[in-house]
Amino acid sequence: MLHSTLKMTLRKCLCYDKIETYKQESDEDKIMVIETERLLLREMTEEDFYALYKVLADSDIMQHYPYVFDEKMVMNWILRNIERYRVFGFGLWAVCLKATGEMIGDCGLTMQLINGEIKPEIGYHIRGDKQRKGYAKEAAIAVRDWTFNNTPFNVVYSYMKHTNEPSYKTAISYGCKQVGEYKDDVNEITKVFAITREEWINR
C-alpha cells in the first residue's frame, strides 16, 4: 500500500497536487495501454502472476537485487502496482508482445526514494529468454515519452546497483546520462541516471 507519508513527501516536493489533478483527469481510462512497434504496455492484473513470477523469481535476472522474489512477493508486487494506478494513475505496467499478447516483463513509472529524495523513476524487468532483443529499451522509451507528455515531471530517473551494467546501458539507451552515485546499505553503491524534459525535447 502507498502510505500517507509518501503523499506528504510528494506535497513537499510540490508535485503531488499536480499528480492528483492529472490522475483525476485520466480516470476515464480504465486500463492504461501504451503501444510501440512490437509491444503493448498495460496495467497489471492478478492474472499476470505466473508470467511475472517467471521474471522476478529468476535468480539470473535478480542477481543485482537484494533477493529473488517468492510467490507472496510477486503477488504483493502486482497489488502494489494496482494501488499505484489507483492513487497516481501510473505504476509499473505489464510489457506484452503485440503479436501474441504474451507478458514478458514490466516497465513503468514509480515514485522512488533516491538518495533521500522521492523522485519519478523508470524501472524495467524483462524475462531472461526475451533479453538482448531491445525490448527493455523500446518499453523504457515509451514510458519516457508518456511521462513527459502526460505528467508535470521535468526530470525522470533510473537507478540501479553499480554492478548492474545491463540496467544502466538501458538507461543510457533511452536518453539518460549518469547524474550521480551514492553509497547505501542495499546496493553498496547506487548509480543514478536521468533525462530532463529539455533534453527530451532537444534529442
Question: CA–CA separation, 103 vs 88, rounded Å?
Answer: 23
Relative to beta strand 155-161, strand 103-114 is unpaired
31 pLDDT band, cuts 50/70/90, is: confident
More confident residue, 195 or 17: 195
Unique residue bearing C-alpha cell 502510505:
3
Q: Which amino acid is at 8?
A: M
Question: CA–CA separation, 146 vs 34, rounded Å?
Answer: 8
pLDDT in tens, 141-161: 999 999 999 999 999 999 999
Report the chain's mean pLDDT, rounded to a whole number: 89
Question: In terms of Cα–Cα distance, which of 76, 3, 87, 86 is closest to 46?
Answer: 76
> Residue 41: its pLDDT value, please?
97
- Domains of the chain (ranges; CATH) run 4-153 (3.40.630.30)
Euclidean distance between the first and the last CA atom of the chain, given in angstroms as a whole number? 36
Question: In terms of Cα–Cα distance, which of 139, 62, 132 is closest to 97?
Answer: 139
State how far Cα 117 lies from the chain centre: 17
